[in-house]
């Protein structure tokens, strides 16, 4: 099993990826729900960071440092930096706070100075707001955003024909790497006869709301 399949299995085992009927922000009834916030202990965060590191190395993206957008991206970027260092790739990282601080070191950025090719580490891309704010911060510091890494790409259309991930790729001309995608989820379900009912529901949902690619 490749790391994407391993990640799906891990997310199901941790209850981070669940099946049933869930209402999305867009008002759609989804047969699955993914909540990366439930990777909430040391062991699971460590394993999650290891999957991010594997996805980054496999992507071949040229990167000089990592950036974690507040708030969910902060532990993800820190954990991924540790995981990459353990694999022989030691990169600096930085994250932002939502509110500017007027004492101590001040400002909104914490960690290594933003410089060179900066990879954004986040959980998912919904509306793309977090990515837009990250790109502005990185460019505003004179650095270059070089891509985004997320845990799961739902491959689901937004308001138009494109998914939120495709919109980010198009708007910023940079790659979005996902540890796993909806295709990987379908492959996982297809290999589990006991989950045939879930496979049917997710396949139907993809036909309704999935991107055409």
Domain boundaries, the chain: 3-209
Q: Which of 87, 101, 192, 204 is catalytic?
A: 101
**3-class secondary-structure state, position 25:** coil
72 among known catalytic residues: no
Q: Which residues, in sequence order, are CB contacts of 206 under 8 Å at separation 6+? A: 155, 182, 186
Which pLDDT belongs to residue 54?
A: 98
User: Pick from 203, 201, 180: which is nearest to 19 by CA?
Assistant: 201
For the entire predicted model, the pTM comes to: 0.93
Which pLDDT belongs to residue 100?
A: 65
Classify residue 119 by burial, with Cβ atoms within 10 Å: 0-12, 13-18, 19+: buried
Q: Which of 98, 103, 212, 213 is catalytic?
A: 103
Q: What percent of the chain has pLDDT over 70?
A: 95
Which pLDDT belongs to residue 128?
A: 79
What kind of architecture, by CATH, is found in domain 3-209? 3-Layer(aba) Sandwich (3.40)
204 among known catalytic residues: no
Residues of the chain with pLDDT under 70: 1, 100-107, 213
């Amino acid at each position: 099993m490749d790391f994407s399949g391993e990640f799906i299995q891990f997310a199901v085992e941790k209850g981070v990826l669940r099946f049933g009927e869930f209402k999305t922000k867009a008002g759609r009834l989804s047969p699955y729900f993914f909540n990366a916030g439930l990777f909430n202990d040391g062991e699971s965060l460590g394993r999650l960071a290891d999957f991010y590191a594997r996805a980054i190395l496999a992507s071949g993206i040229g990167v000089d440092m990592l950036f974690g957008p507040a708030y969910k991206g902060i532990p993800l970027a820190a954990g991924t930096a540790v995981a990459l260092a353990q694999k022989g790739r030691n990169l600096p990282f930085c994250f932002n706070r939502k509110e500017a601080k007027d004492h101590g070191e001040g400002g909104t950025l914490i960690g290594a100075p933003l410089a060179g090719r900066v990879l954004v580490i986040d959980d998912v891309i919904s509306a793309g707001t977090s990515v837009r704010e990250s790109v502005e911060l990185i460019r505003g510091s004179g650095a270059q955003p070089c891509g985004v890494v997320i845990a799961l790409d739902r491959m689901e259309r937004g308001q138009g024909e494109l998914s939120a991930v495709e919109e980010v790729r198009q708007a910023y001309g940079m790659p979005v790497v996902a540890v796993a995608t909806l295709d990987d989820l379908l492959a996982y379900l297809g290999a589990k006869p006991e989950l045939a009912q879930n496979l049917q529901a997710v396949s139907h949902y993809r036909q309704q709301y999935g991107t055409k690619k």
